[in-house]
Chain A
Amino acid sequence: MAEIAIAVVVNGESREAMVEPRLTLADFLRDECRSTGTHLGCEHGVCGACTVLVDGAAVRSCLMFAAQAHRAVVTTIEGIRGPDGELTAVQRAFRDAHGLQCGFCTPGFIVSMTAFLRDNSKPSDQQIREALSGNLCRCTGYQGIICAVRHAANAAVAT
């Protein structure tokens, strides 16, 4: 299969690669970039575990080809950290509210909520639930996750 040349910035690092047209962005990130925090829970765009930021937008990397990310800036869970290298407010809120159990879906939730709270710093409860509804979790019953997003939103407003 003819390969395509791509140039992409992943977590601040410029990369050039030859990729098969059918290679998904998720597999590129996991296998080529070794950003294995991007998890695959369904590979058909429902569970949200593979969510990454592409030019700032939360995107399901299983539904996008690596070739489509040419000249894009991609941020995975590994690239999400506070200015001091510590946990971000969203990550801290998930820890404090017991918003994770097995941790498999967690990177997708953190990435999605990072984008959501960046764009909507004072969400209503209904907006929080709707924003979360694109990510599936099988362990928590979403109780701690909903609390965590509320706390993260409040923390962001307070600072």
Chain B
Amino acid sequence: MKPGARFVGQRVARHEDARFLTGRGQFVDDIDVPGALHVAFARSHTARGRIVSIDTKAAAEVPGVVAVYVASDLGHLVQDHRVDDEPPQRERPFRLLADGDVRYVGEPVAMIVAGSRYHAEDAVDAIEMEIDAEDPLLEPTRARDADVPRVHPEEASNVYVDVPYAPNPALDEVLASAPVVLTETFRQHRYATVPMETRGILASWDRVREELTVWISTQGPHGVRGQMARVLGIEDSQVHVIMPDVGGAFGLKMHPRPEELAVVLAAKLLGRPVKWIQDRRENLMADEHARHDHATVTMAADEDGTLLGAKVEFLEVAGSFPSPGGSAAVFTTILFPGPYRIPAFGASALSVHTNTVGRGAYRGPWMVETVAREQMIDCLAARLEIDPLELRRRNVIRDEELPYVMPTGMVYDQMTAAATLEQAAEKIGYEQLREQQRAWRADGRLVGIGVSMFAEPTAMAFGFMSTDAATVRVSPNGKVDVAHTGASHGQGVETTIAQVVADELGVDFDQVRVIQGDTDKTPFGPGTGGSRSAVILGGAARLAAREVRDRMFSIVAHQLEAAEHDLELVNGRVQVAGTPNKGMTITEIAHQAYSQPASLPEGVPPGLEAQVRYTPDSFCTWSNACHICVCEVDPATGAVEILRYVVSEDCGVMINPNVVEGQIAGGVVQGIGGVLYEHLPYDDAGNPLATTFVDYLLPTATEVPEIEYGHIETPAPTNPGGHKGLGEGGAIGAPPAVINAIADALAPLGVQVRDQPLGPADIVALIEEAGA
């Protein structure tokens, strides 16, 4: 009775591509509402200081300017800034516009609304701001010192999140007695999500209907709806949010920024449509940053490399105003053990404020745990003189140990780390490669091999993120609409969900239309984030389609007086197995369901439409992967060339391997970029030094390796399709693989690599420091 998988697993071309290839995509800046006004923000040039005066008179007189707002005009209008599920007892530092003082360079101080962005920017230049500059706090390790200023004077300290170390005598005993105990500190620098489309919002208030319409570049329109309603102190039902095409997000667009809340307030105050499109300078200087954390790891092992215990202290830089969910401190302490057996474990984490841009959630926000662990394992391998791949092989959790309870309490119902390790090793030809490396080294070439492994907690279902829903509707002409809670912005969900539903209903993939991103058209739900779409949304769509299919079978069985178990679904037709001429097409069934309700069997409701809200059977669905990177370092220039890059991953049942590989590749290249090119430094006064793409270097086609993929497909037990998320894995696994490869390349020179970034100047400095 089950339909065969005709589309799931296939590399079908994407439904969304035609409009993007022809310039017919519609992004928020492409939406033209007559009479729309445009916004620019005047921003702080000072990292920390008291606002002496803001003179907006000249700005207000610039031609085309409609309004100039400062904190005292708008701040008090915000009724409630919290996002969904944010507990009222935990105050996240927030303000709409700088008020009384400034706390980072780039902080919005005044908002200008004008007839065009050109005029709004003219007015920004006309604002006179006097700020009495004070010394900023920039060094996170000093955040708790007595002699440093508080970033938020109204807070008791500079500590944003404190996850204390829980006393653990067993771990203390291991660390005191183990044959090998190493302690190292690893530092990760500040970089950023940088979607190609920046943030943008267009808001329009209808005074007669008392309704707000918002078009916004977001990862979840329903969350925006709730938040904007709370900001204005109106009902959710008065807010309509539309997510048009979105040009990438990677976590950045989970929640609106204060600027976007200000736009909504201005639209209501002025009664006119108001648009703000963030420019790239604003994106790099003043939108949430990512990474920037330290980890001090103490790891204990036997002489044969068996891991015995680990203790970690994480330090996370929250910056000034972290985004909701911007701190990953708790996750880092839970996830550190990764895919390895580490019997004794304990960790603490501290997230601290500095006078810099706030921290946001970027693809694998907790990934410093993988970076630190995988670097540490290589340090241990070097100390024990055991091959780093072999050391991992000895310690990965094996099938016979499942289900495996991590020392932090999380449970692996599934873990195929060993399989991915072997597949990656075979694909890259690990043994031969090590032989080859010896020859290269003998020739003076600095070629290194880096391995990394991790377990990715995908589709975490908690709070607002617990469920997704889908409505599957077969229209009387047999075409299928799927309206869902997701918010795809590059992940190909318009295609993959159509593949899933087409298989369940036995119809052609092109007959399924997928609808998302509009609070008037789709069920309530969280949107996209945390590698959830295939697992949770896929589960909802599959079960809703299944409900419709079951109804189709009941109707046909009744009409043809056949037993349901004798029926089969073939090319959109339900027919009696073995007697294909006896059956009904989906159009005939739909006609019966909608137009002949009296003819339906007892208990079968009229119509062919069903909605299912789905939550997985488990708090999270684990995927896992092994990355191996081979690189060559030029000691004269410090340039790194990546020669090979292999990823072996297990994301369960693949819906569309093109989409899977696209997600891996995008993440891996973001990770490579993060280690080698991308960096958002500040100077000693707290000025950001990379605010254009001339200074903030993204990888281009000339720097990237050809990524080789290996797939292990172990169906996940948590959801009906057997899928596992993998959206974040590439960006988690790539940095430590690249770092370990560089460290391995430089090892013959006596260089020790602990910190990032590893740009040419950093590498040359390391070589010089080692005296090589």
A-to-B contact residues, CB < 8 Å: 20, 22-23, 30, 34-44, 46-47, 49, 76-78, 80-81, 87, 91, 94-96, 98, 100-107, 110, 128-130, 132-146
A-B contact pairs, 27 of them (CB 8 A): A22-B118, A35-B23, A36-B23, A36-B27, A36-B30, A37-B22, A39-B27, A43-B280, A44-B694, A49-B196, A87-B18, A95-B13, A100-B17, A100-B20, A106-B21, A106-B25, A128-B701, A129-B701, A130-B701, A132-B700, A132-B701, A133-B700, A138-B666, A140-B666, A141-B699, A142-B699, A143-B704
With a CB–CB cut-off of 8 A, which chain B residues contact A80?
22-23
A106 pairs with B20, CB closer than 8 A = yes
B662 pairs with A101, CB closer than 8 A = yes
B658 pairs with A98, CB closer than 8 A = yes
The list of the 8 closest CB pairs from A to B, nearest first, reads: A37-B23, A104-B247, A103-B20, A102-B490, A141-B669, A77-B23, A141-B665, A101-B490
Known contacts: A129-B701, A132-B701. The answer to whether A139 contacts B666 by CB under 8 A is yes
- Closest CB in chain A relative to B561 CB, distance in Å: 47
Beta-carbon nearest neighbor of B19 in chain A: A103
Binary interface profile of B, 695-731, with partner A (CB < 8 Å = 1, else 0)?
Answer: 0001111101011000000000000000000000010
With a CB–CB cut-off of 8 A, which chain A residues contact B489?
102
B21 pairs with A143, CB closer than 8 A = no
Q: Does B492 contact A (CB under 8 A)?
A: yes
Q: How far is the CA of A41 from the CA of B21 in the complex (A)?
A: 17
- Closest CB in chain B relative to A80 CB, distance in Å: 8
- Closest CB in chain A relative to B215 CB, distance in Å: 13
- Closest CB in chain A relative to B647 CB, distance in Å: 11
Q: Does B211 contact A (CB under 8 A)?
A: no
Contact of B693 among A42, A76, A104, A105 (CB under 8 A): A42
**Which has the most chain B C-beta neighbours within 10 Å: A43, A80, A139, A141?**
A141
A143 pairs with B665, CB closer than 8 A = yes
Beta-carbon nearest neighbor of A102 in chain B: B490
B701 pairs with A142, CB closer than 8 A = yes
Binary interface profile of B, 479-518, with partner A (CB < 8 Å = 1, else 0)?
Answer: 0000000000111100000000000000000000000000
B702 pairs with A133, CB closer than 8 A = yes
User: Main secondary structure on chain B at its contact with chain A?
Assistant: loop
With a CB–CB cut-off of 8 A, which chain A residues contact B280?
41-44, 47
Q: How far is the CA of A78 from the CA of B195 in the complex (A)?
A: 23
Contact of A91 among B22, B195, B246 (CB under 8 A): B22
Count: A-B pairs, CB below 8 Å: 177
A138 pairs with B698, CB closer than 8 A = yes
Binary interface profile of B, 1-14, with partner A (CB < 8 Å = 1, else 0)?
Answer: 00000000001011
Known contacts: A136-B700, A141-B665, A141-B666. The answer to whether A103 contacts B658 by CB under 8 A is no
Q: How far is the CA of A133 from the CA of B198 in the complex (A)?
A: 21
Q: Does B154 contact A (CB under 8 A)?
A: no
Q: Does B408 contact A (CB under 8 A)?
A: no
Beta-carbon nearest neighbor of A132 in chain B: B701
Contact of A139 among B22, B29, B662 (CB under 8 A): B662
A95 pairs with B14, CB closer than 8 A = yes
Q: How far is the CA of A40 from the CA of B490 in the complex (A)?
A: 18
- Closest CB in chain B relative to A55 CB, distance in Å: 20
With a CB–CB cut-off of 8 A, which chain A residues contact B665?
140-144
Beta-carbon nearest neighbor of B118 in chain A: A22
A133 pairs with B701, CB closer than 8 A = yes
Q: How far is the CA of A94 from the CA of B118 in the complex (A)?
A: 35
Known contacts: A41-B197, A43-B279, A105-B196. The answer to whether A136 contacts B17 by CB under 8 A is no
B-to-A contact residues, CB < 8 Å: 11, 13-14, 16-27, 29-30, 32, 118, 194-198, 245-248, 250, 279-280, 489-492, 658-659, 661-662, 665-670, 692-694, 698-702, 704, 706-707, 730
Contact of A138 among B21, B26, B195, B692 (CB under 8 A): B195
Contact of B197 among A30, A91, A102, A140 (CB under 8 A): A102
- Closest CB in chain B relative to A97 CB, distance in Å: 9
Beta-carbon nearest neighbor of A111 in chain B: B23
Known contacts: A44-B692, A138-B248. The answer to whether A146 contacts B701 by CB under 8 A is yes
With a CB–CB cut-off of 8 A, which chain A residues contact B14?
95, 98
Beta-carbon nearest neighbor of A34 in chain B: B32
- Closest CB in chain A relative to B499 CB, distance in Å: 14
Known contacts: A43-B279, A101-B666. The answer to whether A78 contacts B701 by CB under 8 A is no
With a CB–CB cut-off of 8 A, which chain B residues contact A46?
692-694
6 new A-B contacts, CB < 8 A, other than A81-B22, A106-B25, A132-B702, are: A41-B198, A44-B692, A101-B248, A102-B489, A105-B196, A141-B667
Contact of A47 among B25, B196, B670, B701 (CB under 8 A): B196
With a CB–CB cut-off of 8 A, which chain A residues contact B706?
143, 146
Known contacts: A38-B23, A81-B22. The answer to whether A138 contacts B194 by CB under 8 A is yes
With a CB–CB cut-off of 8 A, which chain B residues contact A138?
194-196, 248, 250, 666, 670, 698
With a CB–CB cut-off of 8 A, which chain A residues contact B658?
98, 144
A141 pairs with B707, CB closer than 8 A = yes
B21 pairs with A95, CB closer than 8 A = yes
Known contacts: A42-B692, A46-B694. The answer to whether A142 contacts B700 by CB under 8 A is yes
Q: How far is the CA of A145 from the CA of B704 in the complex (A)?
A: 12
A136 pairs with B25, CB closer than 8 A = no
With a CB–CB cut-off of 8 A, which chain B residues contact A41?
196-198, 280
Beta-carbon nearest neighbor of B24 in chain A: A37
Q: How far is the CA of A146 from the CA of B707 in the complex (A)?
A: 12
Q: How far is the CA of A110 from the CA of B141 in the complex (A)?
A: 47
Contact of B490 among A87, A103, A107, A128 (CB under 8 A): A103
Beta-carbon nearest neighbor of A76 in chain B: B23
Q: How far is the CA of A44 from the CA of B284 in the complex (A)?
A: 13
A100 pairs with B670, CB closer than 8 A = no
B662 pairs with A104, CB closer than 8 A = no
- Closest CB in chain B relative to A93 CB, distance in Å: 10
- Closest CB in chain A relative to B117 CB, distance in Å: 8
With a CB–CB cut-off of 8 A, which chain A residues contact B730?
141
Q: How far is the CA of A96 from the CA of B195 in the complex (A)?
A: 23
- Closest CB in chain B relative to A60 CB, distance in Å: 12
- Closest CB in chain A relative to B96 CB, distance in Å: 26
- Closest CB in chain B relative to A118 CB, distance in Å: 17
